[in-house]
Chains A and B, each alone.
Chain A
Amino acid sequence: MYTQSFNVPDGAGKTVPLAPSTEDPALQAAFDARIDADGRIEPQDWMPEAYRKTLVRQISQHAHSEIVGMLPEGNWISRAPSLKRKAILIAKVQDEGGHGLYLYSAAETLGTSRDQMLEGLHSGRAKYSSIFNYPTLTWADVGVIGWLVDGAAIMNQVPLCRCSYGPYARAMVRVCKEESFHQRQGYEALLVMMQGTAEQREMVQDAVNRWWWKCLAMFGPPDADSPNSAQGMRWGIKRVSNDELRQKFVDATVPQARVLGVTLPDPDLKWNEERQHYDYGQIDWNEFWETVNGNGPCNKERLATRVKAHNEGQWVRDAALAYAEKQKARSIKEAA
């Protein structure tokens, strides 16, 4: 479900300049021609090293986001208010795990390994969507994550279905098909709360207040400050700019908030007749970068939980492999 539409460098800095191309000009020309013709690149095709690296980084960050994204919601499985909501939440969290697997597989076609990617995540070197470094304080947060966080993710992900790299595009088609349920279940859970007590309605409004700006930041820095975006567009990896996606999200969400009966916490949010879009206020990018760079409220907790789960599962992975090897040895012996 989750991606930051931009590609955060995994290192500490904000941007990495792309190295000048030292690739074979004939191969490069054939690659460019295919991109220009809106063709697809498949794993065995020649591709520039920078294209490969960018994709590995973006797809693995996307996969990590799905996996870490299971944690804030997973916290609520045991506390969901009814058996129905519990079953829905389990299904959603399971989907996120599945989405992570589709994406890891897509990244592996580029020559990286699952272990390498997991090592990047667990060592803290690789990034994941910073939206998961905020806490889910009440049940309303779970609804808001579905409505707004998944809603923002869908905006980001639909254009990725037309990404120039075939395996990534195909994984995104599958993800997007499953995603719509995530947003709708969240919105519906909030609708139910809004028909409840004054306290429940306040809970929803409070959750919207805390998540709104963070969701707007999910689309990444303004176009003017995203130097890597242009290259992503040139390569057909990115199809729609950060600001354009953010605007689409705002325009789609305002009427949904009205139906739900909540206000969006932005005094500058208003319809602009001339632009035929909603204007909105300033996003706090300092806070965003602080979180991306590891200083958000839950960065440490999320990573620690993830590493613990992985380490505690090691014996299962080892046992499965040992069992498979034993079975294989036995069948060879029987055949002899």
Chain B
Amino acid sequence: MTTALKEWPLWEIFVRSKQGLEHKHCGSLHAADAAQALEMARDVYTRRQEGVSIWVVESKAITASNPDEKGPLFDPAADKIYRHPTFYEIPEEVGHM
């Protein structure tokens, strides 16, 4: 009983809703280990056939970008409209391209 009253670690849960689609983050839960996290994710997040596959990742293993760096990280993409197909005008007679 030396480790009593310690919280179970937090896990992030990703569910693939059907074959052919990506796993999507759907929430988090506490579990003692990965196997238990999977079992609990099954009960908490797929009670109505919401999934065909589950990933669990311990929350502390995730490195996230810093919201303060949102500008430097993502703004450079804003003025590169030539990366989009609609930037280019193609004569109508060419048809779908």
A interface list, Cβ under 8 A from B: 42, 44-46, 91, 94-95, 98, 101-102, 105, 108, 113-115, 170-171, 174, 178, 314, 317-318, 320-325, 327-328
Contact = CB atoms under 8 A, between A and B. Distances in A.
12 contacts: A45-B67, A94-B47, A98-B47, A105-B29, A115-B5, A170-B27, A318-B1, A320-B8, A321-B6, A321-B8, A324-B32, A324-B36
A114 B47 contact: no
A39 to B, nearest CB: 12
A253 to B, nearest CB: 27
Interface string B5-18: 11110100000000
Contacts of B67: 42, 44-46
Given A114-B30, A320-B8, 14 more contacts: A44-B64, A44-B66, A46-B67, A98-B47, A102-B27, A105-B27, A171-B27, A174-B27, A178-B48, A314-B4, A320-B31, A320-B32, A321-B32, A324-B33
Contacts of A91: 47
Interface of B: 1, 3-8, 10, 26-33, 36, 43-44, 47-48, 64, 66-67
Contacts, number: 56
**B interface SS class:** loop
A150 B23 CA distance: 32
Contacts of A45: 67
